[in-house]
Amino acid sequence: MSEGTTLDSRTVKVKVYTRSSRPRIETDTDGTYRVFVSSAPEKGKANAEVIKALARHLGVRKSALEVVSGLTAREKVIRIEE
């Protein structure tokens, strides 16, 4: 599993960029994941795409990830259940 900025052993910080022409995940110098998604931030579409992309990147199930902070914000804290 890749390591991003952790608040504890099971959370990562994520900054979301919506309406991207090329969906991808990058890691900032401080370890925060920068997640670029093509969806617009409406009706949870971008959050769903972030969870899907991050699960693939980390090698975990989508159901193992949960947004615990920042549900409607660009900066999020995501918990990883094991």
Q: Does residue 28 have a pLDDT over 80?
A: yes
Q: How high is the pLDDT of residue 82?
A: 75
Residue 4 lies in a domain: no
Strand partners of residue 33: 14, 27
Residue 58 lies in a domain: yes
User: What is the CATH classification number for the domain harbouring 69?
Assistant: 3.30.1200.10
Separation between Cα atoms, residue 82 and residue 67, nearest integer Å = 15
Range of the domain at 71: 11-75
Separation between Cα atoms, residue 82 and residue 25, nearest integer Å = 21
Closest CA to 14 of 24, 3, 4: 4
Of the pLDDT bands very low, low, confident and very high (cuts 50, 70, 90), residue 10 is: confident
Provide the whole-model pTM: 0.84
Tokens for 67, please give them.
């947004």
Q: Into how many domains does the chain fold? A: 1
Residue 28 lies in a domain: yes
Residue 82 lies in a domain: no
Residue 69 lies in a domain: yes
